[in-house]
Chain A
Amino acid sequence: MKRLFALFFIVCILLSGCTSDNNKNNIEDTSLIRIFGVDFKDGIYTVTILYNNSASSADEQTFKSLYGTGKSIFSAYDNMRQKSEQYPSLSQIKYFIVGKGAAENGIKTLVDFAVRHEQIKTDVQVMTTTDKTAKELIEENKDKDAFLGDTLQTSEHKEMKTVKHIDSTILGLQKHFTTEKQEFLVINLNTDENIYIDGYSVFSSGKMVDTLDYDTALGVDFMLGNIRSVPVYTNDFSAIITDIRAKKKVNISGDKLSYKIKTDFSTAIREITSDNLNGNIESLEKAQNEYVNSLIEKAVLYIKKSGYDIIDLGTLFNAYYPKIWADIKDNFDIKKVEFLIETNSKISKTFNLELMGAV
C-alpha cells in the first residue's frame, strides 16, 4: 500500500511537469485546418486557412477562413494564429494551395516549413492556382455547399484514374529540391467556373516559370510512364487506353544522349463514329498510336523549346551512367537529347458490340 501511495505521489509530480509544456489542447478549442493557402505580393506572404468550425454542430458542420500576413510563411501563419479564436492544428491539412505570386517567388520555403512542422504529413498535395490568388479561391468557396477540400479531393481522385501517381506531395517536391536544377511539375488548378485539375505548373530553380495545358501534361505523363488510363479521340472512333506498360531507357554513346520510351497498351473501343474503318483493326491501332504519339510530341516539343528537364532525365542519366554524368552534368542541355518514342496499341475489347464499324 505504501508503495502504491509512493507511486501515485511520483506520478502526480511527473504529470504536473507536463502542464508547463502546453502540449495539451482541448478539442473544442482546436480548429482543424483543411486547406492552407499561400500568396506572395510585394515581399509580404499571406497565409489563408480554411478550417472546420468546431463550435458548429456535428450535423451542420461549417467552415471558416482566416488569413494572416508576414514576411515569411511562418510569420504569416503565426499572425493568423494570433487572430484565430481557436487553436489551429496543422495535422489535418489536405492541400496546400499556392497562388501565382508565391509560386513565382519559389516554393522551397513552403516545403521547408511543411517538412519541419511535426504535425504536417508529407503526403499533402501542393497545387498552384494561376487565375486567382489562394486567398480569393478559399474565401469564395468557404460558404459553398460543396466543401472546397472535398472538391479538390474528387478532382484528385478523378486525376488518379488517368495517372498512376501525382508527385506534387511535400515529400515528392522535397526530393526535387535535392536535384541540381530543381525543375519539376506541380498540379495546376483551373478555377474559372468549376474547380478542377488542369495540367501542370512548371518550376525551374524552385520557381514557377510556366504552365502546361492538359494535353501537353498528358504527353509528359506518357513520357514518364505515369499514365493509368486515358481517352483517345480520333475522327473515326473514340477509345480508352488501359493496361499501359511503359519501358524507359536512357543511353549515352559518345556525345549523343538519348531517351527511349516504349509504351504498350490495350484499348477498349467506346464509340465508332464513321464507316471509314470498315472493320480494319490495323488502321484502328495505327490511328491510336498516332494519337498517343501526337500527345508525346507535344511534350517533347515543349521540352526542346523550353529546355526544362521536367521529366527528370538528369536523375536517370545519373542512375545508369554515373561516371559520364558527373562529367557532363554542368553542361547538360536537354534540348540536345534525342527522344525515341515507340507506341504499340492492341485492341482488346469492343464492349457490347462486336461490330467493327458504326451501327
Chain B
Amino acid sequence: MNKTITIRQIICAFLVLSITLIHEHIPKSASKIAGSAGYISVIVGGIIGAFIAFCICFLIRNFPSKNIYEILEILVGKIGAKLVLILFFFWAGANVITVLHFHSLISQNTLMPFTPDRLIFFNMLALSAYCLCKGIKVAMRISELFVTLFILNLVFLLVVAMKDFDFVNLLPVSSSDTANIIIASPHSFSVFGLIFLALFYADKLEKPQTSFKPFGLYILVVFLLAFFISVVTIGTQGATLTANYTLPFGAVVKHSSLSAFFERLEVFLLLPTFISDFLEIVFFISVMLLSFKWVFNVKKPLYFAIFLFPAVYFTALILENTQFALEDFYENYLVIINSVFELCLPIIMVILTLVKKKYIAKK
C-alpha cells in the first residue's frame, strides 16, 4: 500500500476521532463550569482552536516534509526533542486509557450493560492492533469513508433533537459568567487542538501543505458541530441535566421526535461514537509508537507494540475506577495537560521558529 498520505485523509481522520469528544465531553464540561452560558465557551474554544490550526500550518510551511521530531530537533536539539517525545508518550498513554474507560462506560450505559470492562478493553485493543499492523493509513482511509456520513448523521440528529428546544434554557448569560466561560474553554479547544497530532505524520504528506484552508475548514466543521450540539443539548434539557448526564446529547436524541419510530434511535449516535473511540485509540497508540521509535531510534516500532498493547490493557484494568473518579480525572487534570500539549507547545514552537529564523533557513 502506498505509504504517503494526503492532507484530506489527515483532516478526515481527526474529524471522525473528534466526534465522541464533541458530543460527549464538550456540552457536559461546558455546562458544568459555565452553566447555561456554557455554549459560549465553545466560541472561545473555537477562536483558540483556529489559532492552534494557524500554528500547525505555520510550522508545516516552515518545515516542509518534516515530522514533529525533526522539527523539535531543529528547534531544541536532539535531547530536548527526545525529552518532549517522552512526555508525548506518557500523555498519549493517559489519553488511551481514559478513552478506553469512557468507551467502556458508554457501552455499558447503552447497549452492553452486562459486558465487563475487560472484554470491551480487549476487543477495542485487538481491533486497534489489527488496524495498526496494516498501517496508520488504514485508519485514515476508514475515516475518509465515514466522515461525510457521520457529519450528515450528526446534522440529522441535531434537527430531530430540537423537538423541545427552549431558548429560556440558554439563559441567563451575563458579564459575571465571563470568568467561567474562559475557564470552560480548554474543554473545547483541547478537542479542536487534537489536529496538532497531524505533525506526527507531516513527513508522510504527499505534498507539503502550505495552505491554511484545510486546517481552517477542520476547525470550522468541528466548531460548528460542537457549538450547535451544545446549544441544542443545553437548550433542550437545561444546563443542570446536561452537566449530569453521562451522554448528554444521547439523552436528547432519545427524546427526539423520531424516537417513537426506532426502538433504539440513539444507536445512530452510538455507532459513530464507537468508531470515533476506535480511531482515537489507534491514533494515540500510533503517537506512542512513533514517540518510542524516535526516542530510541527503533526502525520497526511494531515489535514494541507486542509489549505495548498488553501493557495498556493491564494498566487500564489496574486503573479501573469509579465513573466519578474518571470524569474528575478527565475534567480537572487531563484537559489541562491536553491544553499544554495542544496549545502551549505549538505556541512555543512557533516562537522558537521565529527566533531561530536565520538558523532554520541555513538548515
Contact = CB atoms under 8 A, between A and B. Distances in A.
Interface of A: 10, 14, 17-18, 21-23, 91-92, 94, 115, 118-119, 121-123, 165, 167, 169-172, 174-175, 178, 315-316, 318-323
A123 B114 contact: no
B18 to A, nearest CB: 25
B255 A323 contact: no
Given A23-B112, A123-B254, A91 B264 contact: yes
Contacts of B251: 115, 122, 171
Contacts of A321: 172
A315 B168 contact: yes
Given A122-B254, A175-B238, A322-B172, A14 B126 contact: yes
B256 A123 contact: yes
Chain B, interface size: which category? 35 or more
B259 A121 contact: yes
Contacts of A169: 164, 255
Contact of B115 (A21, A167, A315, A319): A21
A185 to B, nearest CB: 15
A123 B110 contact: no
25 contacts: A10-B126, A14-B122, A14-B123, A21-B112, A21-B119, A23-B113, A23-B115, A91-B263, A92-B263, A118-B109, A119-B264, A121-B254, A122-B251, A122-B255, A123-B163, A123-B255, A171-B241, A171-B252, A172-B164, A175-B241, A178-B240, A318-B171, A319-B168, A319-B171, A320-B171
Interface in B234-265: 236-238, 240-241, 251-252, 254-256, 259-260, 263-265
B297 interface: no
A175 B172 contact: no
A24 to B, nearest CB: 10
B241 A121 contact: no
Contacts of A118: 109-111, 113
A178 B171 contact: no
**B contact face: mostly helix, strand, loop, or mixed:** helix
Contact of A175 (B116, B174, B237, B259): B237
A321 B113 CA distance: 43
A174 B113 CA distance: 22
Nearest to A89: B263
Given A92-B263, A122-B255, A165 B174 contact: no
Contacts of B113: 23, 118
Contact of B164 (A94, A119, A171): A171
Contacts of B171: 318-320
A245 to B, nearest CB: 15
Contacts of B174: 322-323
Contacts of B238: 175, 178
B304 to A, nearest CB: 21
A149 to B, nearest CB: 12
A80 to B, nearest CB: 19
Contacts of A94: 260
Contacts of A315: 168
A17 B126 CA distance: 14
Given A170-B255, A171-B251, 11 more contacts: A21-B116, A92-B263, A115-B251, A118-B110, A123-B163, A123-B256, A169-B164, A171-B164, A171-B236, A171-B252, A171-B255
B51 to A, nearest CB: 31
Interface string B164-178: 100010011010100
A292 B116 CA distance: 59
Interface in B292-309: none
Nearest to B113: A118
Contact of B259 (A18, A123, A316): A123
A23 B119 CA distance: 13
A178 B171 CA distance: 15
A316 B168 contact: yes
Interface in B47-97: none
A118 B256 CA distance: 16
B115 A174 contact: no
A178 B241 contact: yes
- Please provide the 4 A-B residue pairs with the shortest distance between their CB atoms, ordered closest to farther: A319-B171, A322-B172, A178-B240, A122-B255
